[in-house]
Amino acid sequence: MIRKIAQSAKDASRVLATLSTEEKNKALLSIANGIEKNKAKILSVNLIDIKNAKKNNLSPPLIDRLTLSPQRIKNICESLKQITKLPDPVGRVLSKTTRTNKLKIEKVSVPIGVIGIIYESRPNVTVDAASLCLKAGNAVILRGGKESINSNIALYQIMINSLRKTKVPWASIQMIKSTDRKMVNRMLKMDKYIDLIIPRGGVGLIQFVAKNSTIPVIKHSDGICHTYVDKHADIDIAKAVCFNAKVQRPGVCNAMETLLVHKDIADAYLPQMIDMFRNASVEIRGCRKTKKLVPEIKLAKEKDWATEYLDLILSIKIVSSEQEAINHIDTYGSCHSDAIITKDSSSADRFMKEVDSATVYVNSSTRFTDGCEFGLGAEIGISTGKLHARGPMGLEELTTYKYLIFGNGQVRI
């Protein structure tokens, strides 16, 4: 069954790769129309997922994630229309050269082919991922979380029905409807048909995929993001930026999870900062030195440093040097987003050079790691891998390239 899905996707991808921007945009608008028209149906199917989630005692944030509303459906359709307005990432001439033998060599962006996406339980990802892949000329195989399976299937049906009226083959969008993890394992072996797997989720899923996939993987893993307040920090900037990084939206991957503070500035900065956090109901888990300074807080355990809380919880560590901060990030971080607050340019330089993360900030909030904030227009997620795409992954990162060589009889001597 999985083989058939993968093969159909590959066949469709060949057709899709040859379509014009206009034809792809028409298909995206047709999907937006389809979803608008079927709003009531989607909402009623979504209620089944919500009921099941409540029956299974899912946490309120998880239930919120899988819940659709008229406004959220409107947002999905808006996002589809936005994508039609973005430039087509396919067919860009990345470089062009004529060699001394008159051979013309062009490096041109082309679709990747077939992309498998394994994601958590937000039904909007079903449409976002499919539409970004489609705009970049790729067929997609979707495999969403079991908690939103009914909503996903409904959205998938509407999408492929909407494609039937367009030049984009309906088989360009495929869904694995079984929630059995064995199916994922089989999908990960279809290297003959699938060109790329994007897993979005926690460490467990990412490791499972890395271990079992014979297909290239671009992981979208946890965000264990740090802010390091250097001894040369502007304390007002440190307070504003750290507060924002933790509190503005704690449930997302670019929120700060650990605050590192240089010992020379701890007395002047930390007690006030911790007060601000506690007033915003942030639970603080600090190292021994932090607890000495502010005894009311909890003591952090080793595993706190490696935890993505996605909640109003923050771990704090006082460090003796910038080197210790960099080493801490190297040991516990997830290569996502890390920041330094400092007025000293050489400390900033060093931090930016040595911290091995996708995005490294000076004097600003890690919350900016986002395709739209970076000007990419839209994103399929944040890559925490280093190959092909790093950080926010937009339409261009959903393409690859090929070399086209134009000759008139050249032979190699």
For residue 68, give the 3-state DSSP assignment.
Answer: coil
Which window, 10-18, 43-51, 116-124, 153-161, contacts a copy of itself (CB under 8 A)? 10-18
Give me the least distance between CB of 76 and a copy of itself, in Å please.
Answer: 23
- Select from 120, 178, 161 the least CA-distant residue to 2: 178
Which window, 75-83, 174-182, 244-252, 256-264, contacts a copy of itself (CB under 8 A)? 244-252
Q: Does 192 bind a copy of itself (CB under 8 A)?
A: no
> At residue 355, what are phi and psi to the nearest 5 degrees?
-80, 120
Which window, 60-68, 177-185, 277-285, 363-371, contacts a copy of itself (CB under 8 A)? 363-371
Report the residue from 89, 250, 385, 394 that binds a copy of itself according to the rule CB under 8 A. 385
CA 235 from centroid of its chain's CA atoms: 31
SS3 labels along 89-156: CCCCEEEEEECCCCCEEEEEEEECCEEEEECCCCHHHHHHHHHHHHHCCCEEEEECCHHHHHHHHHHH
Residues numbered 84 to 143 that lie near a copy of itself (CB under 8 A) are: 97, 99, 103, 105, 112-113
Q: Does 23 bind a copy of itself (CB under 8 A)?
A: no
Q: Does 217 bind a copy of itself (CB under 8 A)?
A: yes
Give me the least distance between CB of 103 and a copy of itself, in Å please.
Answer: 6
Which window, 165-173, 178-186, 208-216, 316-324, contacts a copy of itself (CB under 8 A)? 208-216
Burial class, 146, CB count within 10 angstroms (exposed 0-12 / middle 13-18 / buried 19+): middle
Report the residue from 237, 306, 312, 313 that binds a copy of itself according to the rule CB under 8 A. 237
Residue 53 or 171 with smaller CB distance to a copy of itself: 171
Q: Does 170 bind a copy of itself (CB under 8 A)?
A: no
Residue 55 or 303 with smaller CB distance to a copy of itself: 303
Distance CA 48, CA 147 (A): 10
Contact 250, 311 (CB under 8 A): yes
Distance CA 325, CA 347 (A): 11
Q: Does 204 bind a copy of itself (CB under 8 A)?
A: no
Q: What is the DSSP annotation of 26-45? A: HHHHHHHHHHHHTHHHHHHH
Give me the least distance between CB of 196 and a copy of itself, in Å please.
Answer: 6
Q: Does 407 bind a copy of itself (CB under 8 A)?
A: yes
Which residue in this structure is represented by tokens 């869904």? 175
Q: Does 248 bind a copy of itself (CB under 8 A)?
A: yes
Report the residue from 120, 234, 324, 344 that binds a copy of itself according to the rule CB under 8 A. 234
Give me the least distance between CB of 39 and a copy of itself, in Å please.
Answer: 30
Give me the least distance between CB of 18 and a copy of itself, in Å please.
Answer: 6
Distance CA 255, CA 317 (A): 17
Residue 181 or 406 with smaller CB distance to a copy of itself: 406
Report the residue from 367, 378, 379, 384 that binds a copy of itself according to the rule CB under 8 A. 367
Give me the least distance between CB of 213 and a copy of itself, in Å please.
Answer: 9
Identify residue 309 by its one-letter amino acid code.
Y
Residues numbered 280 to 309 that lie near a copy of itself (CB under 8 A) are: none
Q: Does 410 bind a copy of itself (CB under 8 A)?
A: yes
Residue 36 or 374 with smaller CB distance to a copy of itself: 374
Residue 15 or 43 with smaller CB distance to a copy of itself: 15
Alpha-carbon distances of 278 from 260, 284, 292, 299, 394, rounded to whole Å: 17, 8, 17, 15, 37
Q: Does 22 bind a copy of itself (CB under 8 A)?
A: no
Give me the least distance between CB of 46 and a copy of itself, in Å please.
Answer: 29
Q: How far apart are the first and last CA of the chain?
A: 50
CB contact set of 367 (below 8 Å; sequence gap of 6+)? 244, 245, 248, 249, 252, 254, 255
Q: Does 402 bind a copy of itself (CB under 8 A)?
A: yes
Contact 389, 364 (CB under 8 A): no
Q: What angle do CA 32, 249, 395 make, to 5 degrees?
A: 40
Element (H, E) at 8: helix 2-16
Alpha-carbon distances of 285 from 136, 222, 288, 304, 343, rounded to whole Å: 44, 20, 10, 8, 27
- Site residues, a copy of itself (CB under 8 A): 14, 17-18, 97, 99, 103, 105, 112-113, 191, 195-196, 207, 210-211, 214, 216-218, 234, 236-237, 240-241, 243-245, 248-249, 352-354, 356-365, 367-369, 373-375, 385-388, 390-391, 400-413
